[in-house]
Amino acid sequence: MNNKKLKIGIVVGEVSGDTLGAKLIRSFREQGIDAEFEGIGGPQMIAEGFQSDYPMDILSVMGIVEVLKDIKKLFAVRDGLVEKWTKQPVDIFIGIDAPDFNLRLSKSLKQKQLPIKTVQYVSPSVWAWRQGRVHGIKASIDLVLCLFPFEKAFYKRFDVPAAFVGHPLASQLPLKNDLVEAKQELGLATNHKHIALLPGSRRGEVERLGSLVLKAGEILSQKYPDYEFLIPAINDARKHQIEHLLQHYSDAFRAKVHLLENTDTESKIGRQVMNAANIVALASGTATLEAMLLHRPMVTFYKLNSLTYFIAKLLIKIPYYSLPNIIAGKKVIQELIQNDATPENLAYEIEKLMNIEVAQIQVMQHITMHKQLLSGNSEDPVQAILSLL
């Protein structure tokens, strides 16, 4: 590699990708690599000097039916980036998560036969559903950076270049994690018991799942008046959305709810809330891994548009939806999906975790998996990316 300044394109679609992107940019700098970064990023990446050509929120669309509504806008963004990088190519394009968008973008760049190496950081869940996508990945991606060891093994079967780079959260979050300290950090009474309710960070998720968690909370609040409830709001818009939902609940329940808004660029409020809780109830997604690495007893749930769910059900190839269960290869945490995701079922599953012994068994399994994700064998993402040049 010569000493010219590297141009690196990165595209992320949500907060977790923004966190990974910011860390990656810092790693390049720490290793003395002269590079400039552009594409689509969030506040954390922008704070590292990233030039974002579009707002990150533009890609935060979930579900098959929901994406169809925004398809024109998404195509326009993709075509805009392809046009820019055709005229002024980057050396490397790194799609961080957001696979539906990023894999299509990589494919478009390859079709233009541009001298751009393509990387997908965070494997799409091809091992879980739509396994046929692996052939498209092989055609359009030069390297997949995997967060879990079982993913690299999957790609090896199809001769797709892949590196297991470890999950950044596994090393970031300590193996010893004090609950009292976490409560103090949020200014909560350390002698109170708290249940975290996380309906998700996107507008559509809060719309679909907000009343599910609030109704479950209200059921528990009547039965266990000594428990308080923590709900994180990633930004002002989510805070107002949740406040609006809360208006439909009793004053007694609302008095027990702490709605905590994010206060920094790192969007850590979700993690802080889970960390300060005795029990966590959360929408299935990356956050289940976070709760596992924080070693908190949890139950997860999810509801999709019914047509999206029907299609997904036909395509899913594994028995579990949540990362802790997938990593363990068995049911460690309860999953309430679609019709099972009712306020009554959720309240019942949270109530089970109030039993210290039941909670402790789950926590021990979380610690075991945390250690597993920390166990060496992982490569440095920057070096893996540079090996392409």
Tens of pLDDT, residue by residue over 342-373, are 999 999 999 999 999 999 999 999 999 998 88
> Once rounded to an integer, what is the mean pLDDT over residues 130-149?
92
| Nearest by Cα to 303 from 195, 214, 207 | 207
Q: Does domain 6-168+378-386 have CATH number 2.60.15.10?
A: no
| Cβ–Cβ < 8 Å for 56, 19 | no
**What does the pLDDT read at residue 267?**
72
Domain 179-374 has CATH 3.40.50.2000: yes
Strands 257-261 and 143-146: unpaired
CATH 3.40.50.2000 occupies which residues in the chain? 6-168+378-386, 179-374
Instruction: State residue 2's pLDDT score.
Output: 53
Tell me the pTM: 0.73
Q: What is the sign, positive or negative, of the torsion defined by CA atoms of 240, 59, 17, 38?
A: negative
Indicate the pLDDT class of residue 61, thresholds 50, 70 and 90.
Answer: low
Residue 308's pLDDT band (boundaries 50, 70, 90)?
confident
Between residues 168 and 274, the one the model is more confident about: 274
pLDDT for 343 equals 98
- The owner of tokens 């193996």 is 175
Residues whose CB is less than 8 angstroms from the CB of residue 214 and which lie 6 or more positions away in sequence, other chains included: 197, 245, 246, 249, 253
C-alpha span between 24 and 94 (Å, rounded): 10
pLDDT of residue 4: 81
